[in-house]
């Protein structure tokens, strides 16, 4: 068989390993561990690192926010990251297949798929808007620089006056000062970048129910975005693993270029001071700790299913403990670094407008498509900086989108598991990409931004926290922490450090519960600028959030009803018990309690040594003894050894049962 052909291949990602063939020839592996690390970095480091973390930092006490942020990273972020990586790597299965560990909880895997579907739909729409701005930046003059366009309103007031174009440097300086004073004196100012965003790019409608027309330029960019994602995943991790050498590293080049340019501008230091100046009294505020925990949890991509999926393509003995620390710290360091890039430019803009930094600071789409682009118009050669900025956003988004699509494709392929679907995985990838494109079309209408923000706020909010909490409970308490610690030791060659054992069992679940409670207490109905969402749209938002969580009890009840047993308790036990095929995917790794039983022709895992299963094993052995004795009687062989339970005459019985 194929697996036997590679039985002699060295296991794991050993440094200097000469063998390049896949350890798992049926499923495939990463070309090398650098590809896995870069893919995981690209997955974890996304748009939120640029447009959410800096805003949270300045809002929650500047440098003081770093304290709870890194505490949450150590006690919740890294342990959960390591748990998911080890979970997927041990079984070499996606977010559905891994639940052989406790079949009753397979609904958690379906919940992860639902969440990844929602995020994948709207995330690619954000990427397509970045594509749109990128294409529009290929010009001598950025179209959101001035207020003399057909889409502008009388309230529009730019930071650069239109008559500056041909003025001398002295005149330009004086007119800029005049323009700034005009802006300050206005009671209401609408920037040209904001009007460009609302009235030209989105042509936004007045209500979430008023879809209007499809914005064809955005629809075209959405098609481009999905085409890029599909082509990069056309050969699964084999192709995406090569693409991430660029998509995961080049954003750091762009960030560095923008950082160097930013800190050389007037007022940049004020922006950075505003970003980092600690307000230590805020450390005592529970909301600051809640924001820190939530940002760590959502930023690392826990409970999306992506970490399990990416780790499932690792070699069995890869050191995922080392990888989890490297990737988690890189993710958080990127967030802090991005804050310098954002606030140096915003500080420059505030200096020119002669207003506090807080008045120009924003987050989310408002930062990416309004505040930052407006600041870029003040720079010489502004189209160049705009091209770099939006290209960085595209790459950051694509890194996450690759893993979201691969999560769904891997789950489908692993679940069906036939030779045909494994060979034709590209067809599945194309089908999922087309479905994602079609489902994203409503988000390209004039009401699209309302729906995008609704999905962003509800589809992946408290549902992720619940999924992650149940996953911890299942692995640590249903499957058993001792069993899992032995599995990790078998895979890595050393047991999980004591700190991680304590975090997995106690600290991380408590922090996750805290995030859930904090999310519920801090809940406020979503708004977009001055627009208040109607009740029916909020109901749809909650339905999206619950649609992933409800998979868990529904599948659990289904599994219990299908499990053997005379009573509900027996069925429940059977549904929770690990599947016989749970364990390492390859026969060569199934050692110890996963070793194949001698009496079986097929490779199945030896049941876990728990009380119930030990009793079942003893019963099976007794049956084997009786069968052996019956065969001996038929062959008329009398045994003289007292207590013998198998055939000693192997010449007459070439296939002994024990």
Q: Report the binding-site residues for Na(+).
A: 42, 44-45, 49, 299, 331, 396
Radius of gyration of the chain (CA): 29
Q: Which residues pair with 527 in a beta bridge?
A: 532
Side-chain half-sphere CA neighbours of 209 within 13 A: 8
Residues in CB range of 154: below 8 A, 6 or more apart: none
Helix axes 286-299 and 462-473, enclosed angle (nearest 10): 80
| Structure tokens given for 479 | 């499957």
Binding residues: 42, 44-45, 49, 299, 331, 396
CA atoms within 13 A on the CB side of 200: 19
Query: Measuring CA to CA, which residue among 129, 46, 44, 43 is closest to residue 365?
Result: 129
Angle at which helices 169-185 and 320-353 cross, to 10°: 90
CA distance 628 to 656: 8
**Contact status, residue 283 vs residue 81, Cβ threshold 8 Å:** no
Sign of CA dihedral 577, 580, 585, 590: positive
- Write the DSSP symbol of residue 106: H
For residues 483 and 608, is the Cβ–Cβ distance under 8 A? yes
Residue 594 tokens, joined: 């996963």
Question: Taking every pair of C-alpha atoms in the chain, what is the biggest distance, in angstroms?
Answer: 115
Closest listed residue to residue 34, CA positions, set 288, 237, 287, 300: 237
Alpha-carbon distance of 498 to 14, in angstroms, equals 25
Neighbour count for residue 31 (Cβ, 10 Å) = 15
């Amino acid at each position: 068989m194929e697996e036997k052909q590679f039985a002699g291949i060295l296991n794991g990602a050993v440094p200097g390993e000469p063998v390049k063939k896949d350890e798992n020839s049926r499923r495939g592996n990463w070309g090398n561990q650098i590809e896995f690390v870069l893919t995981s970095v690209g997955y974890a480091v996304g748009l939120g690192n640029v447009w959410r973390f800096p805003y949270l930092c300045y809002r929650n006490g500047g440098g003081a926010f770093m304290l709870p942020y890194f505490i949450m990273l150590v006690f919740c972020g890294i342990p959960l990251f390591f748990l998911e990586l080890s979970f997927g790597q041990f079984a070499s299965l996606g977010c559905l297949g891994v639940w052989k560990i406790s079949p009753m909880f397979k609904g958690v895997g379906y919940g992860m798929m639902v969440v990844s579907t929602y995020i994948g739909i709207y995330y690619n729409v954000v990427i397509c808007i970045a594509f749109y701005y990128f294409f529009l930046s290929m010009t001598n003059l950025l179209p959101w620089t001035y207020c003399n366009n057909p889409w502008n309103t009388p309230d529009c007031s730019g930071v650069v006056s239109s008559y500056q174009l041909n003025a001398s440097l002295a005149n330009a300086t004086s007119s800029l000062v005049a323009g700034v004073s005009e802006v300050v004196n206005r009671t209401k100012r609408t920037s040209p970048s904001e009007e460009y965003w609302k009235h030209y790019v989105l042509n936004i409608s007045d209500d979430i129910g008023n879809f209007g027309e499809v914005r064809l330029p955005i629809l075209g960019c959405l098609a481009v975005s999905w085409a890029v994602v599909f082509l990069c995943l056309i050969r699964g991790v084999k192709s995406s693993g090569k693409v991430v050498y660029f998509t995961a590293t080049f954003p750091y080049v762009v960030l560095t270029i923008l950082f160097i340019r930013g800190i050389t501008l007037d007022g940049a230091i004020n922006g950075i001071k505003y970003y980092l100046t600690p307000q230590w009294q805020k450390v005592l505020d529970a909301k600051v700790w809640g924001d820190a925990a939530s940002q760590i949890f959502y930023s690392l991509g826990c409970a999306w299913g992506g970490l399990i999926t990416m780790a499932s393509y690792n070699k069995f003995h890869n050191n995922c403990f080392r990888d989890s620390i490297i990737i988690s710290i890189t993710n958080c360091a990127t967030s802090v670094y991005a804050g310098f890039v954002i606030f140096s430019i915003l500080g420059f803009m505030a200096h020119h407008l002669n207003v506090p930094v807080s008045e120009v600071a924003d987050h989310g789409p408002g930062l990416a498509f309004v505040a930052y682009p407006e600041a870029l118009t003040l720079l010489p050669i502004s189209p160049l900086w705009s091209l770099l900025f939006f290209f960085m956003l595209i790459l950051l988004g694509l890194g996450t989108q690759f893993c979201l699509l691969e999560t769904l494709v891997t789950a489908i392929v692993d679940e069906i598991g036939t030779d045909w679907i494994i060979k034709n995985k590209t067809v599945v990838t194309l089908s999922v990409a087309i479905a994602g494109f079609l489902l994203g079309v409503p988000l390209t209408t004039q009401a699209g931004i309302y729906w995008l923000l609704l999905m962003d706020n509800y589809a992946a909010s408290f549902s992720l926290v619940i999924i992650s909490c149940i996953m911890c409970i299942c692995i640590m308490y249903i499957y058993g922490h001792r069993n899992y610690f032995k599995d990790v030791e078998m895979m890595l060659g050393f047991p999980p450090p004591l700190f991680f054992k304590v975090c997995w069992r106690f600290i991380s679940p408590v922090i996750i519960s805290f995030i859930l409670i904090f999310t519920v207490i801090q809940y406020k109905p979503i708004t977009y600028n001055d627009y208040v969402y109607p009740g029916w749209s909020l109901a749809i938002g909650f339905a999206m959030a619950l649609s992933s969580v409800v998979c868990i009890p529904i599948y659990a009840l289904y599994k219990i009803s299908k499990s053997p047993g005379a009573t509900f308790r027996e069925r429940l036990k059977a549904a929770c018990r690990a599947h016989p095929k749970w364990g390492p995917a390859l026969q060569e790794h199934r050692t110890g309690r996963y070793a194949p039983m001698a009496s079986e022709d097929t490779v199945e895992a030896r049941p876990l040594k728990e009380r119930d299963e030990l009793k079942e094993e003893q019963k099976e052995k007794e049956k084997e003894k009786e069968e052996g004795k019956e065969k001996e009687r038929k062959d008329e062989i009398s045994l003289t050894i007292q207590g013998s339970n198998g055939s000693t005459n192997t010449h007459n019985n070439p296939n002994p049962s024990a």
